[in-house]
Chain A
Amino acid sequence: EADIYQTPRYLVIGTGKKITLECSQTMGHDKMYWYQQDPGMELHLIHYSYGVNSTEKGDLSSESTVSRIRTEHFPLTLESARPSHTSQYLCASTQPNRQRVTNEKLFFGSGTQLSVL
């Protein structure tokens, strides 16, 4: 059973607010990801990390930042939320297979549904 947690589950905030979406995993995974999904659309990768102090931007340009100070924690921050940020945000993690013999198993959190008014 995967242990990856996202909080809050739902969030409704006003424009201009600073928010942080939390993601934690207890599996000791090195790789962590943030995906964004607009209603009825597919996932888009917005940030990822391959380990502590490693963060990269993904395919989707986003006014968000991430940090990876501890292996288990990968928070996503929006400095000034806008209605265009209304979306679902999914966190995922995986442990890379250094032998590359088998595929990496991806585990997902349950998501944060963000609504910016």
Chain B
Amino acid sequence: AQSVSQHNHHVILSEAASLELGCNYSYGGTVNLFWYVQYPGQHLQLLLKYFSGDPLVKGIKGFEAEFIKSKFSFNLRKPSVQWSDTAEYFCAVKGNDMRFGAGTRLTVKP
């Protein structure tokens, strides 16, 4: 069975700073990769997903993620964060079944 690791438990940034959230997984087969976001008081929303093709995936709200197969990584990036990006971010991997990382809390200071 696969596993997912999110390296950062809590990230604090100032507005306009660049963001990179790490996600690594362990699984030997073909995977689908996802990043979800949960804003305070709301449900999960899909930010972006990778199934195949271009390993650089662009999502909503200016987010992107790059799948590096050799590193088993799918890191989430945003060039310039905003206060409204404050949320919990979950990386997820679908292999045999679905696995979620523990989540990274992002706090953006105005």
Interface, chain A (partner B; CB < 8 A) = 33, 35, 37, 40, 42-43, 45, 48, 58-59, 88, 90, 96-97, 100, 102-106, 108, 110-111, 113
Contacts and interface: CB of A to CB of B under 8 A. Distances in A.
A103 B38 contact: yes
22 contacts: A33-B43, A37-B98, A40-B32, A40-B94, A43-B36, A43-B46, A88-B98, A97-B40, A102-B105, A102-B107, A103-B38, A103-B39, A103-B40, A104-B38, A104-B40, A104-B41, A104-B88, A105-B103, A105-B105, A106-B38, A110-B97, A113-B97
B57 interface: no
A-B pairs, top 6 by smallest CB distance, nearest first, are A42-B46, A103-B88, A108-B100, A45-B43, A103-B40, A103-B105
Interface residues on B, range: 20 to 34
Contacts of B90: 106
A43 B44 contact: yes
A100 B86 CA distance: 12
Given A88-B98, A113-B97, A100 B51 contact: no
Among A43, A58, A100, max chain B CB count under 10 A is at: A43
Interface in B24-48: 32, 34, 36, 38-41, 43-44, 46
A110 B44 CA distance: 17
A35 B100 CA distance: 13
A103 B98 contact: no
Given A43-B36, A43-B44, A108-B100, 12 more contacts: A35-B44, A43-B46, A90-B98, A100-B40, A100-B41, A102-B107, A103-B38, A103-B88, A104-B41, A105-B88, A106-B88, A106-B90
Contacts of B51: 40
A103 B86 contact: yes
A90 B39 CA distance: 19
